[in-house]
Each structure stands twice: as structure tokens, then as C-alpha cells.
Amino acid sequence: MPFLDLSKFTKLKDVVFGCTGPDIRRTTMTLQTAESINLEKITIRSPRKPILESAYREWQDLDRLLLQFWTSRSIRPRIGYKDREEGRELRYLVPRMLPELTSRGIVDLVEYN
């Protein structure tokens, strides 16, 4: 599964990932390559399809990585959703997807167009 190497993007300030179930591992692998000291925002668009039980472990791997970004660079991750209904659903899903971030209150849900 290919992923993007962000290590060469030294002026990168804002990244947005569109995530479906299988893409979450790719998102984690890509973020692990981010070396930009200018990085300020990490947004992950909510999955379009229901999350399979087997994918929660991959989301929790991302949770740990995003927690590292918070502690080392004060980057508060955001989960983007398309409409209010999706936002309501995410309020119940995000604690399972990102338990560490949610328990610390450091993940934001944001609506995008």
C-alpha cells in the first residue's frame, strides 16, 4: 500500500486526509514521515463508510501518533465531517476511533464544505 513521504515538504503547514477504512493505515504511515517544523494543522475527514471492527486498531495507532504531534508540537488534530448528521454520528464514534485524544479533550470536530 503506497503512501506519501512528507519529509521533503519542509514548509508544510496544513494537511488534510480523506479517510475510508483501508486508508487509515496509509494516513498513519504518511504522517510518520512529516518533519516540517511549520506544520500547524492536521485534519482527517471522517470515513464515508462504517468502520469495521478490525479497523479500530488502525485508528488507535493513528490516535497514538496524533497524541505525539500534540505533545511535541501542540498540533490539535481535527476530524472533519460534511454535514450535521455525520457530525452527530461522529460524536459517538470518535471516542472509539481516537480514545486517547478524546479522553484528553484534544480533538476537534469541524464541518467542511
Print the SS3 string covering 5-67: CHHHCCCCCEEEEECCHHHHHHHHHHHHCCCCCCCCEEEEECCCCCCCHHHHHHHHHHHHHHH
Domain positions in the chain are 12-111
Q: Which three cell numbers stand for residue 43?
A: 485534519
The answer to pTM > 0.85 is yes
- Per-residue pLDDT for the chain (113 aa), expressed as one digit of tens each? 567 889 889 899 999 988 755 678 889 999 999 988 899 999 998 876 667 777 888 899 999 999 999 999 999 999 998 888 888 888 888 998 899 999 999 999 998 87
Cα–Cα distance for residue pair 99/102, rounded to 1 Å: 5
